[in-house]
Amino acid sequence: MSERTYFGTDGIRGRVGEFPITPEFMLKLGWAAGQAFKRDGQRNSVLIGKDTRLSGYMFESALEAGLSAAGVDVKLLGPMPTPAIAYLTRTFRASAGIVISASHNPHHDNGIKFFSAAGTKLDDALEAEIERWLDMPIEVCTPGELGKASRVDDAPGRYVEFCKSTVPNEFTLDDMTIVLDCAHGATYHVAPKVFRELGANVSVIGANPDGLNINLNVGSTHLEELKKAVVARGADLGIAFDGDGDRVLMVDRDGSEVDGDELLYVIASQRFAEGRLKGGVVGTLMTNLGVELALREIGIEFERAKVGDRYVMERLLANNWVLGGEGSGHLVIRDCTSTGDGIVSALQVLLAVGKSGKTLTDLRQGMSKLPQEMINVRVGQRFDPFSRDEIVAAVEKAEAELGSAGRVLLRASGTEPLIRVMAEGQDADSIQRVVRELARIVEQSGP
């Protein structure tokens, strides 16, 4: 990924109005993507979906124009979860899918994600091909070859039915009370339908988007309101999505948070008990060490990938495994869908609850998370922390202090100017001290 100019770990992202998140760039990006995805001898089409940010209208129009100029038809889906675009790209046999979203970021950010015709994130080679076309001047195809645009009016209904199809026909959520937090984002009009149609008694918060309130004090990055709602309403659990719907976190009946690491363990352990796990589990460098220890204790192989769902998917494909994910709630379940899907992942957790006859509280008890501390150090511009001798020396000192019972991780964010400083181990006080000292040194060493 170091060779990419525009693409980070999850597409292209930044602040609206600042290059490259501008209408001019999006026009060029649409044309470049159209050239990269276009295949001779067939009528090519690309789907465009978006979350609920106000700026999505502007970028949707710019991308549409660029794709049309490249001679590619456009199908507009409107506000839809990111995984819905992946699914619909496959079902429409489209050349690619484009998502206009900055995921869990605030409304003043936006970005672009791409899906291949198979509904998977693009590989490095195809991203490089798009960037190659970005360096060329736009050449508009002949008027008779311009791409046409149309709207897909039944996209939400198609996706709702798909989500329900990922659990057995006999599975219901009757007698279960659930609170959903849709982050004022892309799941606001589909998630409540999915869970209600499966029989749950559903209450909803964060489902009134106005273009500016996406992720604002709600959703998977702000669980406080969901925790209050679950306890106040005596719900069995709460489910929180992020702004584009590819992540999910949960809240237990007592208001305690259940993160992606714990959800991954719940799904894996129940599937393993039923003999349908199909291999091991892939986490990331950030996955809590407690997950690895708990899975290995019951006989499940565990492997770490680089941070980012695309890298989790790479390892799953290489091993022919089906289950992986991140602590942020980005779970990949290959025998259900082709990318991280918050609604589908939540249904798999609820399926584990139903099949086991236990509560979420009971199922998560099998894993004990080790104390983990992380500080996001904001820097003026991104840099490799291991390019600084003083940071390398500090990491080596910290690793020696923690010994074999702990670990240290520093990594540059692929989407923001942040250096993530993390450590975990047996002693919470030592972990906190180590992380704070490392964060101080990183902050002083930045460009």
Q: Just list the catalytic residues.
A: 103
**166 in Cβ contact with 350 (< 8 Å):** no
**410 in Cβ contact with 386 (< 8 Å):** yes
Return the H-helix or E-strand segment holding 385. Answer: none
Q: Give the position of tokens 């080790």.
A: 370
**323 in Cβ contact with 349 (< 8 Å):** no
Terminal-to-terminal C-alpha distance of the chain: 21
Can you tell me the distance from the alpha carbon of 402 to that of 394, in angstroms, rounded to the nearest whole number?
12
**97 in Cβ contact with 122 (< 8 Å):** no
Can you tell me the distance from the alpha carbon of 134 to that of 112, in angstroms, rounded to the nearest whole number?
15
Alpha helices in 198-259 (DSSP H): 224-233
Can you tell me the distance from the alpha carbon of 192 to that of 402, in angstroms, rounded to the nearest whole number?
45
Can you tell me the distance from the alpha carbon of 119 to that of 339, in angstroms, rounded to the nearest whole number?
7
Report CA 403 to chain centroid distance, whole Å: 32
Q: Residue 46 gets which letter from DSSP?
A: E
**63 in Cβ contact with 47 (< 8 Å):** no
Contacts of 279 by beta carbon, 8 Å cutoff, 6+ apart? 301, 319, 320, 321, 322, 323
Long-range CB pairs of 6-10 (<8 Å, 24+ gap) are 6/131, 6/134, 7/127, 7/130, 7/131, 8/414, 8/415, 9/307, 9/308, 9/310, 9/414, 9/415, 10/103, 10/111, 10/113, 10/121, 10/308, 10/309, 10/310, 10/414, 10/415
**391 in Cβ contact with 443 (< 8 Å):** no
